[in-house]
Structure 1
Amino acid sequence: MLIFLRSKNLSLPYFVLLALTLAYFGFCFNNYLHYRDIFSVTIWLVRTDIFLIVFFIYCGYELAVRMYDNNMAEYLETYEQGLLKAYVAVILCLSTIVALPSIMFFAFILFMYYYNDVQYLPLLIHLMKLSGLYFGLSFLIGIMLGTAMSAKLKTKRLAVYSLTVIFMLLNTTFTEVPFRIPYLLFNSYLTERMLYYIKDFLTVVPRQLGNNYIIDTIYGFPMEPIRWILAMFWVLFPLTLILTECFNRKTKKALIATGCLIVLLGVGLFSVRGSVLLMDMRVDSFPFADPHYYQDRPREDYSGYKAGFMIEEYEMDLTVSNELHAEVAVTIDNHDLDSYDFTLYHGYILKSVRTENGEIPFTREGDYISIGSLYGADRLIFRYYGKSAKFYANRQAITLPGYFAYYPKAGRTNIWDLDRYGYVVNISPNESNYTVHIRSGMEIFCNLAGSDNSFQGKSNGLTLFAGMYDEVAENIYVEPIASPVRRNLPKREYIREAEEILTDLFNRLERPEPEAIIHISDKKFFQVPHNFGLNSNTDDIVIMSDHITATSCNNGPQLAEITMRSILKPKSATSCFRFMDEYLKYLFNRQDESDPLFQSAVDLNLLLKEIGELRFLTEKYSDMNREKYLNMNEQERKAYDTAQKRMHGPNNNVDEKAAKYLFYESPRKEENMRTFFDYFTAESKEDYLELVEKIVREELGHDRS
């Protein structure tokens, strides 16, 4: 310890680091006072982690390498286990050095928890685990790596600091751009996957510097079991490398063999890590996995598919460990068909299908399972395991909504809607009886009645949530920790208010109220993680027979609007989504009359001219694809790019002007509201601009007459 304190190149930076850490705590506390969000503060703390690890690599290396700078290693080897004792002393000294900042971070996080408005035991446990992994083991990894490099690379400082820089960059998002090159240039998904596999194995800071994705409080910071296993690997493996320098040939061989065994064990466990939350730019991450998967496959439309049978009963035996393991028995109502199709998300690996008579053959094609005749059997048992990049189920959290095919559903149904860029809401047409038993270390919240992770009841979808999740009011389940995107917890009065608003709107539209939203205030309410909306336009709200899942419920009008949005079905064009947003704005009377658009009436003749131009451009480039674009000459590309800017750029306000006239200025505005409600809820293939043009021309003709 005295050597460390007397070394100005080590002790001086160390004390400066401690002072800066205290100042940084002050900055983070001020951040909390401004945002009142403990996760925001913790993110700021974690951002410093990799720099602290690099500093401790530097300390570990520079302290241990002094034995080689001054030829002390040769002298120590003349004593029995002299080098070993020296390394033990160095590691103990360094452990003492990292203990102080570790305790400081632990104490500050503990202080922030007790200063926080929400006293919630799962949050406290999560923060204590975070302190241990991010500010305890990670610091220890730093000193072990530094000491190991001094043992193996001796005085080769260029090599040591080059490896340190590479290690630091691999623990940031710096690699996202170079790692995307193989996929973007050569469509090589395998190469990108291998690069990220190596990166993940070398990652000791799960929440990396540069990661700007919002943390869902149900999950918190990534701390799956594999993260702890990797942390222990990066402590034990460097220790083994150090020990190989301290013993003779025979013991050295045994230690090398031990090191190889540790590597094999680490790689083996890492390769079967199961469901891990990945929030980055890779193709198989939470935001991009399913959009990429379905975009690269032929489009199939099963919207009109008839299964020919219904599932009357589900008996589920689920185990949630590093991923979901399931045995699901289904009872069907029609056992005389020649074949049966089921939908099960492709991320789940089907091991077997059997009846009471034994295993039966099946074929698996992506999300679909095909089975032949059941020869009179009416009960099928599916055994499978696997994961979804988005709808995760592991030891840290569970988010399995009832509209997602994480269990077999009757017939063939689409999982992903490319036009709406979102998940298809796969709700069973009938209610089924469910008997569910779940083995998990977490308390699981379900839409069915039950306790001790066993549930039973009738519904058209089974929803399961667990993690930092709780029942905050009767039949209202949410993440109880406030965040910048969620200040207000859902309340039953908000749902009642939304129900009243929707009833009034359907009376105004003179249209029957959908059965699903009648008495929605009596249903259980599950608030889903905010990031559900990150890669999907259809997860905002889903209403099932006995419960609701929604990304937010800040007040009644907001809940009513997202409910109405889920009822409407805009066509595939981006501009149609924009026009639907304008429609909802006027339907819910949210128009901003201070907007410059409201300073004068809409010029209908100019509007018709602009609509004609947009329809011409849309038709002209209707069959455009990547191959055709690449085959264009420079002039054609320029014309196409100009047309795209005209159609989709910020200067295109045709939708705004059309909506303002139709739903605000027109003498037939209520009739227009009804017309477009029918349009958005029908299966019509008509272009919305064609309908706008038709109505405007009719009204112009009526005015002139």
Structure 2
Amino acid sequence: MERIKIQTSIFLKNKLILILTLLFFIMSIAYTLLSVFSPYIELNSLPVLSTSLRFTFPTMLFFLFISFEYLIKIKTSHAYEFLKSGKNGLSTYYINGISVLVMILFLYCFMHLAINGAVYFYLSINHVEYLLHIIMNVFLNLFLVPLMSIFLAAVLTFCNKRVSAYVLMIVFSFLTSPVFGIIGTWFDSDANIYIFDLVDFFDFVPPAVSWTPIYAFGFSVLPYRFMQIGVWIFALFAVLIFVLARRGKKSGIISSAICLLVSLGLFLCYIQPVSKIDLSYDPLEGSTADQSYYHKNVVQKEKKAAFVITKYDITFNIGSALSAVATVSLSNERLESYEFTLYHGYIVSKITDVNGNDLRFTQESDYITVYNNSDTPLDKITMYYSGSGQRYFSNVQGISLPGYFPYYPQSGFKEIFDTDIGGFNKYTEKNDFDFNIVVNCPKKVYCNLSDNGHNSFTGKSNAITLVSGFYDSYDWNGVRIIYPYLFETRNFTKDMIISEISGFLQKNPRLGVKKVIVISNVNSNRPYERLAVYHDHMDINWILDLDTMYSDQSVTANKRKLKNYIDTFIHVKELYTQILNQEKANGSTAKESVLLMLDEKMNKLGEEYVIEQSKKFLYDENDTRSALEFLCELE
């Protein structure tokens, strides 16, 4: 204890280190408090937590350089010889020095935790799971990440020259900065070299912390992030033990080896597939992953199935990602092959018949073909698959799987992604199916089907939606509204949320939905993904402006381009002219281009007439012509 006091006094007497520490503490706390008391921002717990977590990278760098300077300074002081004179003096000196830094780090974390805790209690959130979420985020991002940098600084003090240590710290700072991610994008686009696995390993900033918060999910405290930082901490600790151990000392070598083995084990766990929210530049897992995938020579197909699915029995297992055992009952038992659509992020490991015999199958992109091995009837098929989606996630922290997303096998081949607008098509079946769903998940799961308890659901519908996370529910006139409770603020209360949704339902009674489920808004879902209506429920990803969202989704995929051009013409005519000129410059003809044909018809028949007739066409569910066919026939 006496030695810790000595080393603490050395820290406090170093004016430069002390002043820098006080300035950093004051700056970060003051900036966080601004998000609490700002008159321009509605007070909400999640944005306040986001402000704290944005200091992850600065805090890591601050403690890296301050720790290095402190541990170097103390070695040159008169206390060093005193500390070194005892048994295991050098080890004791480093243990005590690191202990002082950890106490300072703990104080820093406590201040951020106090601010976020005060907001939590002030807003009367009353959900312990979210309070634990705050604590885990502060612990992971503002304690463990800087703790790793303290260990790194301790290791670097053994460099022979100070300049060498600073070069290594600068390189580390660069590799852990957002700039490295931008360079990763250049490598991928210009040199076709994928380095994002390396980028991710050096990225300690919470994913999506600079984006609009995902209110049903919060910020990632998934196991892989703890494993990532654990790899670094145990590896650095192993090096520190090794250099501090007396030469040839067996206990030091064994302890170092154990730490390295733990680090290796954590690394092997870290690299396992995981369903995560990644809004980085990563072309395979980031914000543009789906757009990039479907643009790179992926041929989407449309083929109507020669069979009908009559029943689904599905068990979903939610861990780091989703794994499922899906049994589908078939109406036509004697086909040679059966075609299904399943999002390509879910990899099928095997398919069996009702007796457990393996069936031959192929999986290409989103399409699965299952072959009947013999002439015997095939009344049931069971698929075993696992994986994740980029935009629609499923992990132990949360689930967001809307009914139109093919995370379970659907009959026939479907073109599920619209590359022109960059979003998923909302395919919904016309017929209802019998569903028997079990979700093995540590959190409560909500579904549009009847809840049997213990995350088990049964019922009839033309689609199933699953959500989990920071959710609450409320019954209004026989309709259950399932929404993220973090939406609530002092000025946007639960009553206002219910009022917005109930007002929309009252204006549209023909929808006849029994549940309204608010799904997570990840990666700026395109307008036509923001609301989807099924036979028994409705998915939305925002609560305000439901009328506009409903209008957007009423237009089918083959008409959507025409609607966008007309909206642009009406509201942003200059942009419309720019797009039109670009289309002409591309050498397209009116018979090939919806835009050029629209412009030709407006010049010939008049703008008001064409727009009026186009709107009738857009919202006529019985008119299945494409936009180009409609315009060509318009007189």
Alignment TM-score > 0.5, same fold: yes
1:565 to 536, 552, 556: 552
Counterpart amino acid of 2:443? M
| Alignment match, 2:4 | none
- The normalised TM-score by structure 2 is 0.86
| Alignment match, 1:604 | none
Question: Distance in 2 between the 1:300 and 1:104 partners?
Answer: 53
Question: Distance in 2 between the 1:231 and 1:550 partners?
Answer: 36
Q: How do 1:117-196 residues align onto structure 2 when only pairs under 5 Å count?
A: 118-150=125-157, 152-154=158-160, 156-186=161-191, 188=192, 191-192=193-194, 195-196=195-196
Q: How do 1:11-26 residues align onto structure 2 when only pairs under 5 Å count?
A: 11-26=18-33
Report if aligned partners of 1:310, 1:430 keep a CA contact under 8 Å in 2.
no
| Alignment match, 2:360 | 361
SS at match of 2:485: coil
Using a 3 Å threshold, how does the CA distance of structure 1 residues 681 and 71 change in structure 2: closer, same or farther? Answer: farther
Post-superposition CA distance 1:612-635 (Å, at most 9, x none): x998974673569xxxxxxxxxxx
Counterpart amino acid of 1:308? A
Report if aligned partners of 2:433, 2:460 keep a CA contact under 8 Å in 1.
yes
- The Cα RMSD (Å) is 3.6
| Alignment match, 1:371 | 370
SS at match of 1:20: helix
Q: How do 1:282-431 residues align onto structure 2 when only pairs under 5 Å count?
A: 282-302=282-302, 305-357=303-355, 358-373=357-372, 375-431=376-432
Question: Distance in 2 between the 1:300 and 1:312 partners?
Answer: 25
Report if aligned partners of 2:435, 2:459 keep a CA contact under 8 Å in 1.
yes
SS at match of 2:552: helix
| Alignment match, 2:517 | 526
2:469 to 461, 467, 470: 467
1:577 to 564, 577, 582: 564
Aligned-residue sequence identity (percent) comes to 21
The offset of 1:657, in angstroms, is 8.7
Using a 3 Å threshold, how does the CA distance of structure 1 residues 92 and 684 change in structure 2: closer, same or farther? Answer: closer
Counterpart amino acid of 1:231? I
Question: Distance in 2 between the 1:497 and 1:401 partners?
Answer: 23
Unpaired runs of 5+ residues, structure 2, are: 1-7
Using a 3 Å threshold, how does the CA distance of structure 1 residues 679 and 424 change in structure 2: closer, same or farther? Answer: closer
The offset of 1:136, in angstroms, is 2.2
Post-superposition CA distance 1:576-626 (Å, at most 9, x none): 51315668x9xxxxxxxxx999xxxxxxxxxxxx99x998974673569xx
Using a 3 Å threshold, how does the CA distance of structure 1 residues 669 and 387 change in structure 2: closer, same or farther? Answer: closer
The offset of 1:329, in angstroms, is 1.0
- The normalised TM-score by structure 1 is 0.78
Counterpart amino acid of 1:427? T
The offset of 1:57, in angstroms, is 1.4
Report if aligned partners of 1:275, 1:394 keep a CA contact under 8 Å in 2.
yes
Question: Distance in 2 between the 1:659 and 1:13 partners?
Answer: 71
Post-superposition CA distance 1:639-686 (Å, at most 9, x none): xxxxx9xx89xxxx97999899755xx6x9876753554599532352
Does residue 683 (structure 1) correspond to residue 625 (structure 2)? The answer is yes
| Alignment match, 2:278 | 278
Counterpart amino acid of 1:531? V
Report if aligned partners of 2:184, 2:199 keep a CA contact under 8 Å in 1.
no
Question: Distance in 2 between the 1:29 and 1:97 partners?
Answer: 24
Using a 3 Å threshold, how does the CA distance of structure 1 residues 69 and 198 change in structure 2: closer, same or farther? Answer: farther
Using a 3 Å threshold, how does the CA distance of structure 1 residues 318 and 113 change in structure 2: closer, same or farther? Answer: same
Report if aligned partners of 1:570, 1:680 keep a CA contact under 8 Å in 2.
no
Report if aligned partners of 1:217, 1:481 keep a CA contact under 8 Å in 2.
yes
Q: How do 1:476-515 residues align onto structure 2 when only pairs under 5 Å count?
A: 476-482=481-487, 487=492, 494=500, 497-498=503-504
Report if aligned partners of 2:215, 2:470 keep a CA contact under 8 Å in 1.
yes
Question: Distance in 1 between the 2:125 and 2:417 partners?
Answer: 37
Question: Distance in 1 between the 2:604 and 2:43 partners?
Answer: 39
| Alignment match, 2:241 | 243
Question: Distance in 2 between the 1:13 and 1:170 partners?
Answer: 24
The offset of 1:538, in angstroms, is 2.9
Which of structures 1 and 2 has the bigger CA Rg?
Answer: 1
| Alignment match, 2:46 | 39
Question: Distance in 2 between the 1:51 and 1:429 partners?
Answer: 53
Question: Distance in 2 between the 1:435 and 1:181 partners?
Answer: 47
Counterpart amino acid of 2:22? F
Counterpart amino acid of 2:628? E
Question: Distance in 2 between the 1:225 and 1:99 partners?
Answer: 22
Question: Distance in 2 between the 1:162 and 1:319 partners?
Answer: 46
Report if aligned partners of 1:46, 1:207 keep a CA contact under 8 Å in 2.
no
Does residue 550 (structure 1) correspond to residue 540 (structure 2)? The answer is yes
Q: How do 1:210-225 residues align onto structure 2 when only pairs under 5 Å count?
A: 212-225=210-223
Report if aligned partners of 2:601, 2:631 keep a CA contact under 8 Å in 1.
no
Report if aligned partners of 1:662, 1:669 keep a CA contact under 8 Å in 2.
yes
| Alignment match, 1:60 | 67
The offset of 1:434, in angstroms, is 1.0
Does residue 104 (structure 1) correspond to residue 111 (structure 2)? The answer is yes
Question: Distance in 2 between the 1:41 and 1:71 partners?
Answer: 44
Does residue 456 (structure 1) correspond to residue 455 (structure 2)? The answer is no
Using a 3 Å threshold, how does the CA distance of structure 1 residues 345 and 267 change in structure 2: closer, same or farther? Answer: same
The offset of 1:144, in angstroms, is 1.9
Using a 3 Å threshold, how does the CA distance of structure 1 residues 320 and 447 change in structure 2: closer, same or farther? Answer: same
Q: Between 462-471 and 79-88, report the one with greater CA deviation.
A: 79-88
| Alignment match, 1:640 | none
Report if aligned partners of 1:568, 1:681 keep a CA contact under 8 Å in 2.
no
Using a 3 Å threshold, how does the CA distance of structure 1 residues 309 and 98 change in structure 2: closer, same or farther? Answer: same
Q: Between 613-622 and 240-249, report the one with greater CA deviation.
A: 613-622
| Alignment match, 1:621 | 586
Report if aligned partners of 1:476, 1:491 keep a CA contact under 8 Å in 2.
no
Report if aligned partners of 2:32, 2:48 keep a CA contact under 8 Å in 1.
no
SS at match of 2:101: helix
Unpaired runs of 5+ residues, structure 1, are: 503-517, 586-594, 598-609, 625-643, 696-705
Report if aligned partners of 1:53, 1:139 keep a CA contact under 8 Å in 2.
yes
Using a 3 Å threshold, how does the CA distance of structure 1 residues 366 and 596 change in structure 2: closer, same or farther? Answer: closer
The offset of 1:232, in angstroms, is 2.9
Counterpart amino acid of 1:454? S
The offset of 1:690, in angstroms, is 5.5
